[in-house]
Structure 1
């Protein structure tokens, strides 16, 4: 039933799309080509998600979602303009009828320039989302931050951290592009590298073809990692609980094979010139129905508020609801999870917007509250929509400095 409703809504939106093409151009074949492509995209989506084939949100299913969004989002723009114009036409026609009671009720003709505006605006997401699938998803960016802390141990003044998150290896299909991203990470030559969860989409096997490449990621003080919500295999129907557990064991082994120190509600110390900072890694803890395996108290057992701490926690909602008010004072938290929804607008220092902000208060970049700092990495990979528009795949590089932040 839900698919029937979905198809009806999609087709009804094409009615308004037809109005745009009909008003702008006298050549009806242009619309019929569009309609054919639109229905083909819909048919492919229905096939991919009802055939019993496919692998979660990756591969052919991912592309089915991508092309569906390419056609669906512009339809919403057509709907807004055409429906809005219909409301105005209805009032104008009704006003004329009231003013001239002896005449028939007639709706005014559509205005060509309204349809032209709608078509022009709809072309922006149409082209952008195609670009996001072709190039944007591998358009890796290095974002650099300098963070100041009064209580940072002197020996760690100038200490450099690289962070990546949300690899989602099951979505990858271009070894050359991923190698470029990994090489870019290695070029940062940071003192330590952190990975903040979601190595795979569903299964550990997704990482088999990529672990050799990611094992080349090294740092002087090591590579440390945690689990994200997708790493537990909860989004796949397993034949048995034993199979699911075996998958998790394999995933943990892969972290070890790559030389990554996987932290499961525990902590480590980095020591330098007789001083130290604590690395705290929790399992996934997320609000809104996500797995809550993260145990902050267990992971930080024995630490005090005086210890300088870097917390790795996949979901930024953990920081919102627990970390920023914790008495142990976690100075820096590194998260991911949101991907910035892989779609948005960012003009550094001026404007930021993404639909994900209506779900997550902290969704990308640096946030500071109550003397605590959070960085939400926009993600290295992608999921579902096989692209990125405006929110590019990210490598965070953070330099720690001792002292107050310059005015």
Structure 2
């Protein structure tokens, strides 16, 4: 077992793939093309993701020449911060080097909330991660939708608040997500809607008005055998664990992410930057 164990703990978590999807979701305008670069679950400060690796990820993402770069949350390690962790200001400064024709946008993940003690005590934001990103000019879409004029024409980009933001003793974590309130900000029936939601579970109740949902959180289960993961942090198990999912004509892409959570291993699901070519 030493061989597979070493592979899962040392080699695979340090890899860096680009996973590509070419999609034409329902409602996408004919002939319009848009390139989306996705970074999720960096977990900076974890064993395999020092700040220097963020620099490498930024360079690799920029080399894809995306129209939009979307950051899907869990920027920090899945534990309480320690003195050796990179500062949030330094992390945000590195991410500010991301370049995309139509902008760089973010949502927050559960660990950005769970390991922010003031937000857990007050049961409200803003989070330290969110403030750091906003200070360097990266908008954080928290239950917010914005209309953009992009290379692929006008579209709505929406970001859902985290669905398990607040820890609760003996009960399921409580979220700050407001799907109805976010959708109410969309004021036309024509421009396609892309929804950023850290956890994919919301896809089960996503309105048909949403053209494409983008999520992370699961790490693809972090250990996968022939496309199946024994443990997935989702009430739906493997249904939304990883990759492109199409249900009832609606599309979801779940990134396997970059870092690790809980156990510092990956097996069968290497870290990835996702590139989605729409149209």
Task: Give TM-score, length-normalised by structure 1.
Answer: 0.59
1:335 aligns with 2:215: yes
1:184 deviation in Å? 1.3
Q: Aligned ranges for residues 225-264 of structure 1 at < 5 Å?
A: 225-232=106-113, 234-235=114-115, 241=121, 248-264=126-142
2:277 aligns with 399
- Partners of 2:129 and 2:145 lie apart in 1 by 20
- Partners of 2:220 and 2:33 lie apart in 1 by 28
Q: Which of structures 1 and 2 has the larger relative contact order (alpha carbons within 8 angstroms, sep 6+)?
A: 2
1:352 aligns with 227
Aligned CA distance change for structure 1 residues 286 and 366 (closer, same or farther; 3 Å): farther
SS of corresponding position for 2:36? strand
Alignment gaps of 5+ in structure 1 = 1-122, 346-350, 402-407
Q: 1:356·1:363 contact (CA, 8 Å) conserved in 2?
A: no
Q: 1:329·1:372 contact (CA, 8 Å) conserved in 2?
A: no
Q: 2:245·2:253 contact (CA, 8 Å) conserved in 1?
A: yes
- Partners of 1:231 and 1:311 lie apart in 2 by 19
1:200 deviation in Å? 1.5
- Partners of 1:272 and 1:239 lie apart in 2 by 34
2:64 aligns with 188
SS of corresponding position for 1:356? coil
Task: Give TM-score, length-normalised by structure 2.
Answer: 0.83
1:361 aligns with 239
1:316 aligns with 200
1:138 deviation in Å? 1.9
Q: 2:76 aligns with which of 182, 187, 200?
A: 200
Compare 369-378 and 385-394 and name the one that shifted more: 385-394
Aligned CA distance change for structure 1 residues 382 and 207 (closer, same or farther; 3 Å): farther
- Partners of 1:235 and 1:241 lie apart in 2 by 11
Between structures 1 and 2, the one with greater helix share: 1
- Partners of 2:124 and 2:190 lie apart in 1 by 38
Aligned CA distance change for structure 1 residues 386 and 273 (closer, same or farther; 3 Å): closer
Alignment gaps of 5+ in structure 2 = 166-170
1:213 aligns with 94
2:179 aligns with 296
Q: 1:229·1:291 contact (CA, 8 Å) conserved in 2?
A: no
- Partners of 2:21 and 2:152 lie apart in 1 by 26
- Partners of 1:181 and 1:356 lie apart in 2 by 27
1:223 aligns with 2:104: yes
2:154 aligns with 276
1:300 deviation in Å? 1.6
Q: 1:169·1:199 contact (CA, 8 Å) conserved in 2?
A: yes
Deviations for 1:145-189, whole angstroms, at most 9, x for unmatched residues?
00013522357x221000111111131554444432222111111
1:90 aligns with none
Q: 1:331·1:371 contact (CA, 8 Å) conserved in 2?
A: no
Aligned CA distance change for structure 1 residues 208 and 272 (closer, same or farther; 3 Å): closer
